[in-house]
Chain A
Amino acid sequence: MAPQLRLNAVAFVSPQNHPILIRTFEQPRQDELKYHYIAHTSLDVIDERIQAATASKSTDCYLGLLYVEDVAVYGYMTPLKVKIIIALELSDSIVRDADVVAIFKALHTAYRRSVANPFLRLNVPTENVTDHSILVSAGNSRWQAFRKRVDEIGRASYGFVPSPLFLVTSKIQ
């Protein structure tokens, strides 16, 4: 059994590279800037990965370890091009991709469930129904439920509950 991965921060970025949500978990206040920077700089690496993926015709959502900067930054892109970036506490042991992908799947599900909320569209003009970015404009107050879901996943990664990740992932089905 792999050691519990510690999730320091999560960022959701829209297909147009607008930040949707940036959450840090149990991090010192001073480090907020760091994770915002990480979310932003990761986009460069994600672009590189997307190019490489396009070249190799890969359709995998998981973009792997993006880079290491005191934390391990992993990337994931949903089929609708929403980018999810997580910063895991560096550990001096081998991190299995499957564990990271499990976290991403949970986060992706949280996003999907939130976007599916029909009330998000309450005051949105109808002509661009396919454009999610309107819905998810940064930190929208209607985004509370999403924030809560992401926080739950973040808390789960801190391992207060035995295998909480599985609780979350099992909801996916």
Chain B
Amino acid sequence: MTAQRVTITYSAPPAFLATDHWKQVYAALLSQLPLRNLHWKSATRPNIRTIQELDVNLVSAEAKQTEHTSQIPQTVLEKPLLSAYIVVCDDTETYRNTVKKQIKEWHSTVTQRKNMEWLIIHIVRPDAIATSGRMFQMKASVLDKIKADFNVEKRDRCVELVWAYDSDYENPTAWADLIGKLKDGILCAFDAAVAQREEEVKRSEGQRQMPGWNFCTFFILKESLANSYEGMNLYEDALDTYNELEILFFQVLREKNLSWFGTLINPAPKDDSLPLLSHSKKPYRDLILANTISVFDFRTYLLARQCSILGYLGHVVEIARKAVAFLSAFGRRLRDIEEILPTHFIESWTYSSALSVVEQCDAWATGLEMNKATIASFNAVKGELVELARHQLDIIGISVGHLPNRPPFSMAFPSNSRRDGGTPATSSTQRISKSEILMALEDKNAFYKVYIGITNRAIELYATAGRRKFALKMHGDLAALDVHRGRLSEALQTFTSLPAHYAPHGWTSLESYMLFQALGIHTAAEKPRDREWIFILLDFLKAYVQDLGKELLMNTEDHIEYVTSLVQALHEATQEAESDLSHHDHPAISVSVPNGQARTADNRDGALLEVQVTNALPCDVPADEVIINLTGRDGAKLTFLENVKSLKPGKNAITLFCHSATPGIYSLHSSQVRMSRLSLHWLHSSTPPPSSSSASRSKKPPTLVSIPRDIRALDVRLRQPRRMELGTPARIVVAFNTGRNHVTRASVKLSAPSGVEFRHNEATLIDSEAGEDTFVLSDVEADKTVYVSVPHSDASAFHAMRVNITVEYTTLVEPDVNRSLTLVRVVLTSLPLAINVEDFFRGTRLFTRFTLSSTSHQHIRLKSTELRATRDDDGLKIAKAMPRSRTVTTITPEQPGKFLFQLDSARGQDREPLKLHIIYRVLREEVESVIESAVDSSLSESVSLQQYRAELIDTLVQALEKDASWVNRYEATGELIVPGIPVQDGEVGEALAHLIETLANPSSNQEPSGEWREIIIPVDVPQMHIVAAARLRVLSNPFNPDAVESLPPLFAGQPISALLTIKASFHWAPAEDVEKRSYRMRYDIEERTKDWLVSGQKTGEFIAEDDRTFTTSVTLIALHHGHLILPKVSVAALPIPGEGRMKAPLIPSCETYQAHGAEAILVLPRGGRSTFVVNMGGE
């Protein structure tokens, strides 16, 4: 049905209509059409409607009159809106005589007509205007006369068209007046007609509740309005009208329950295959008028009309959207009466309609300019239509058995509908007519071809529309079809690739569904359960344990059973796997450490740790091993493991064992559950990459595990050797305690981060093999401590040395277990003592003084110092100056100890260095051992207190550390007064009180128990070429130097004779210079001008020979009285020129001591008389 167009009729004298002149005018008039830019201002509408373009029929009045008019409301455009009369008359006379009459006749007929405007067009030639117009100005023109005769009211309904044969048709100015009048006339008539029709419609609608009102009649009436709008190209108004009709239809539907409609549907033979949007495929209006239209036809007609108007407007997206909604909704309604419809009618109708709408929309869309977003939504909605068609194939396929009755195919069934999938029984004898459907029903392969074709079409449309998720769903459908058709490998490929699209956003339900399909296919295809299968399965279980994952396992009645069988199959597959598999962070199982306190194993080395393994699956999971890894400081790693059989659903408490557990604090690093060759890993302590964007990932504090010390476990300690000898390679003592273990073999490796090297191969110990970087102990019984001394490179640069100890050992009880223990120990390397040596030569004797001082704040207890010769036959006689009364000496940093030794030796021997043996201990060590022994002896009486041993010792030591007031008393008396211990109740308090008492009153005077340390310091015997003893002796009789009589009194100022003797001894000369008999020497008497005047040879040279005395005499004068010390004499050896190979002068070493150094001489004041003259004054 094409829209009714606006009609303009024209009349003229018949004679004129026959002329060529008219034909030309008519043609020219037509060329001005269609009319453009009409502005309709309606009284009932708020806005001016603009009609861009309006087609107009121009027909002669006679032709129009012949048409019959019916009672049925047609459009208001059916009758002409404008009637025009064409006048060609230049002559007023002619006009008055004939033409006016003709016009009058016409005018009387047209003015009677309602809703029609009229117009008189006066055609004049330009020359006529020129001649008549100008020349007879005084006379009224023909036009003026016409106006005067016919114009009523204010409207001017007469217009002049200046027409020339050869004038320009296109000249708009010539036509403007006429066209304007035409537009005005049309709009005016249209407005009046519409207003009248609207009035009628309103009246009719108001009678809706009255008996006898008929919707169909009303529909035709109101539709005529819509048609009128459409004819005027007022599409929005037309659409609004139809929409109002639709709303009214639904209202009426509810109120009156369709009493005007024959049936819901009266299926005609081709109903299911005709294009949906054609409103001419049936005589719809006639059916409506006859009140026999079915709801189906009516709704189809209404939709088709709406869509065709939308089509004019270019709203293709809306058309398709409307069609989808209509097909779905009305298809649903048809389901209610499916039994009276031909078999598959609904499906066939929906299918063909959907596809025909796509076609129709494409047709309408050609030439339309759409922006990108509109194109996308157009494709999307077309995709929806195609998908709708596809769903019909699903339903048909299931009902005839081409498809199985299960998702995703069964999803096409409307909810709450029958689900049996069979062909419904129908009372209708008709058959559907869509050839594609008919073919597909017959032929399975044809069906699949159509099915796949349609699906792919939908996928393509969705893809271009950017609806990726829709396309994914469709791919899933295709894969499901592949499964049904037995094309398993294609299906498997799709189903294994689909989960990746659903997983990232947590759509685990869909993910698990896809994986479930993949697993099913895998089984159906009898593919080997290989790596790939295992990973699909693991992914499935991963999705399954997440909350949404279970929701879609609708095919499996008892999914617990299903999962159980899967897990079982997984176990079998892992056993047969060719290589090790690992999988990270699987959520089905989680391992946690509920309590970070490990226990020691009672009967063997190692630690036990409780872990909680949570199995989120509903079935037992077979597993072989549960392992957790801990990391500690310096990269230490511990592995706890336990063999298990299976993990039951929920929480499993499992105790893991680590055979090599070094005590300390560790953090949980990772955990692992092994199932044959498959291992599941979880990383606990997250060391996330710094730029990690996954901020949402919960950041938990690390799980800490504390491993206690096992007192009975194998242990290795380091300490300084008890006996240290300087000058020999430094050693360290490794105390290897087996604890409860009978160690069959243990290798110990020491290394120091500071770079100190340990010479393991030079380790000296019992029963050891020394390797390059380890030493090995074999067959050490339990509870035995083996001390191994390991030399190492010089570490004196460090105060303390940090040593990493690695022990690998096996025990007799568990020969298969290789335990490894990694310990870090710090051992002091510095000496607590500083030693200073001073030597004093006295002839053939040597006095050596050692000054010992403490290098730290600690007091040092010295038990003995001893200087020993290396060899007994050295001829050395060493005597020690040491009071015997005291056994232990204490030195402190402020109070060094000095120890003097006297050496006598034979001359000229090669002397081995001497060794100073010092036996000492640090006060703290001593006190600690005192306390320990006191505690031990105290605890031996009470077994129950044994566990408090460490606590008691700690308490005491800490008390002593806080207050140093006890030190002096202890050092003097051995009584240890522990200060500041609060009185405690209970067993411990009593024990403590008892201990304090014991310590304060040591049982006897015996030396405190505990170990002493020994340090051996090599001391070279000093050498000296010449030892000179200078002596200045005052002679009582200068002439007899040998006289031994007491000195006469000496007076100041009196010359005193003195004898200088220098006795040389070559006793301490180095062995190689023993041959040398004499040295040239020089002496020099010190000038002490305040005390003495020296007269004589103050300075002189002499030849010194061994054990010979050089003698010379000098005279001294004391300058004042008092006890005066004699001047010192310095003696020096002169260089021996050029004797060495190097021809360099050699200066022999020489030491001089003043034999008279301690002597003082009493000088008396000078006697005699002194005369003082005192002036008495006066004369």
Q: Which residues of A does B touch, CB under 8 Å?
A: 8, 16-19, 22, 27-34, 36-37, 40-41, 43-45, 48, 51-52, 55, 65, 67-72, 89-94, 124-125, 127-128, 131, 133-134, 137-141
Kindly provide the distance from the CB of B1165 to the nearest chain A CB, expressed in whole angstroms: 100
Taking a contact as CB atoms under 8 Å apart, the answer to whether A22 and B551 are in contact is yes
In-complex Cβ contact of B508 among A8, A124, A138 (8 A): A138
Q: Please name all residues of chain B whose beta carbon is closer than 8 Å to the beta carbon of A71 when the two chains form the complex.
A: 415
Taking a contact as CB atoms under 8 Å apart, the answer to whether B419 and A30 are in contact is yes
Taking a contact as CB atoms under 8 Å apart, the answer to whether B506 and A70 are in contact is no
Q: Please name all residues of chain A whose beta carbon is closer than 8 Å to the beta carbon of B467 when the two chains form the complex.
A: 41, 44-45, 48
Task: Sort A-B residue pairs by CB-CB distance and give the 10 closest, nearest first.
Answer: A139-B547, A18-B506, A44-B467, A34-B411, A92-B329, A41-B469, A17-B505, A92-B333, A33-B407, A125-B698
Taking a contact as CB atoms under 8 Å apart, the answer to whether B509 and A19 are in contact is yes
Taking a contact as CB atoms under 8 Å apart, the answer to whether A128 and B695 are in contact is yes
Taking a contact as CB atoms under 8 Å apart, the answer to whether B699 and A125 are in contact is yes
Of B376, B384, B406, B509, the most chain A CB neighbours within 10 A belong to B509
Name the interface residues of B369-396: CB closer than 8 Å to any CB of A.
373, 376-377, 380, 384, 387-388, 391
Q: Please name all residues of chain A whose beta carbon is closer than 8 Å to the beta carbon of B416 when the two chains form the complex.
A: 89
Q: How far is the CA of A124 from the CA of B700 in the complex (A)?
A: 9
Contact string against A for B residues 395-415, beta-carbon threshold 8 Å, 1 for contact and 0 otherwise: 000000000001110111011
Can you identify 7 A-B contacts, CB atoms within 8 angstroms? Answer: A37-B510, A41-B473, A45-B380, A72-B325, A89-B416, A131-B696, A140-B547
With A91-B329, A138-B546, A139-B547 already in contact, the answer to whether A124 and B698 are too (CB < 8 A) is yes
Taking a contact as CB atoms under 8 Å apart, the answer to whether B509 and A44 are in contact is no
Residue of B nearest to A65 (CB): B325
Residue of A nearest to B381 (CB): A67
In-complex Cβ contact of A33 among B470, B502, B513 (8 A): B513
Taking a contact as CB atoms under 8 Å apart, the answer to whether B384 and A69 are in contact is yes
Name the interface residues of B665-703: CB closer than 8 Å to any CB of A.
695-696, 698-700
Q: Residue B837 at the A interface, CB < 8 A? A: no
Q: Residue B552 at the A interface, CB < 8 A? A: yes
Q: Please name all residues of chain A whose beta carbon is closer than 8 Å to the beta carbon of B330 when the two chains form the complex.
A: 92
With A44-B470, A127-B699 already in contact, the answer to whether A8 and B415 are too (CB < 8 A) is yes
Residue of B nearest to A52 (CB): B373
In-complex Cβ contact of A89 among B373, B376, B415, B502 (8 A): B415
Q: Which residues of B does A touch, CB under 8 Å?
A: 247, 250, 253-254, 324-325, 328-330, 332-333, 373, 376-377, 380, 384, 387-388, 391, 406-408, 410-412, 414-416, 419, 466-470, 473, 502, 505-510, 513, 546-548, 551-552, 554, 695-696, 698-700
Taking a contact as CB atoms under 8 Å apart, the answer to whether A32 and B324 are in contact is no
Q: Please name all residues of chain A whose beta carbon is closer than 8 Å to the beta carbon of B547 when the two chains form the complex.
A: 138-141
In-complex Cβ contact of A68 among B328, B410, B507, B695 (8 A): B328
Residue of B nearest to A71 (CB): B415
- Sample of 12 more A-B contacts, CB < 8 Å, known A51-B373, A52-B373, A138-B546: A8-B415, A19-B509, A22-B551, A40-B502, A44-B468, A45-B467, A70-B332, A134-B696, A134-B698, A138-B508, A139-B547, A141-B547
Q: How far is the CA of A138 from the CA of B512 in the complex (A)?
A: 14
Q: Please name all residues of chain B whose beta carbon is closer than 8 Å to the beta carbon of A93 when the two chains form the complex.
A: 250, 253-254
Taking a contact as CB atoms under 8 Å apart, the answer to whether B470 and A36 are in contact is no
Q: How far is the CA of A81 from the CA of B508 in the complex (A)?
A: 21
Q: How far is the CA of A44 from the CA of B473 in the complex (A)?
A: 12
Residue of A nearest to B467 (CB): A44
Taking a contact as CB atoms under 8 Å apart, the answer to whether A43 and B469 are in contact is yes
Q: Please name all residues of chain B whose beta carbon is closer than 8 Å to the beta carbon of A40 when the two chains form the complex.
A: 469, 473, 502, 507, 510
Q: How far is the CA of A141 from the CA of B373 in the complex (A)?
A: 41
Q: How far is the CA of A44 from the CA of B642 in the complex (A)?
A: 50
With A19-B548, A30-B407, A127-B695 already in contact, the answer to whether A69 and B505 are too (CB < 8 A) is no
Q: Please name all residues of chain B whose beta carbon is closer than 8 Å to the beta carbon of A8 when the two chains form the complex.
A: 415
Kindly provide the distance from the CB of B463 to the nearest chain A CB, expressed in whole angstroms: 11
Kindly provide the distance from the CB of A111 to the nearest chain B CB, expressed in whole angstroms: 17
Kindly provide the distance from the CB of B700 to the nearest chain A CB, expressed in whole angstroms: 7
Taking a contact as CB atoms under 8 Å apart, the answer to whether B552 and A32 are in contact is yes
With A69-B387, A140-B547 already in contact, the answer to whether A48 and B380 are too (CB < 8 A) is yes
Q: How far is the CA of A29 from the CA of B551 in the complex (A)?
A: 9
Q: Please name all residues of chain A whose beta carbon is closer than 8 Å to the beta carbon of B328 when the two chains form the complex.
A: 68-70, 90
Q: Please name all residues of chain A whose beta carbon is closer than 8 Å to the beta carbon of B407 when the two chains form the complex.
A: 30-31, 33-34
Kindly provide the distance from the CB of B593 to the nearest chain A CB, expressed in whole angstroms: 17
Taking a contact as CB atoms under 8 Å apart, the answer to whether A70 and B414 are in contact is yes
Q: How far is the CA of A166 from the CA of B513 in the complex (A)?
A: 38
Kindly provide the distance from the CB of A22 to the nearest chain B CB, expressed in whole angstroms: 7
Q: How far is the CA of A93 from the CA of B470 in the complex (A)?
A: 27
Q: How far is the CA of A67 from the CA of B387 in the complex (A)?
A: 12
Taking a contact as CB atoms under 8 Å apart, the answer to whether B415 and A31 are in contact is yes
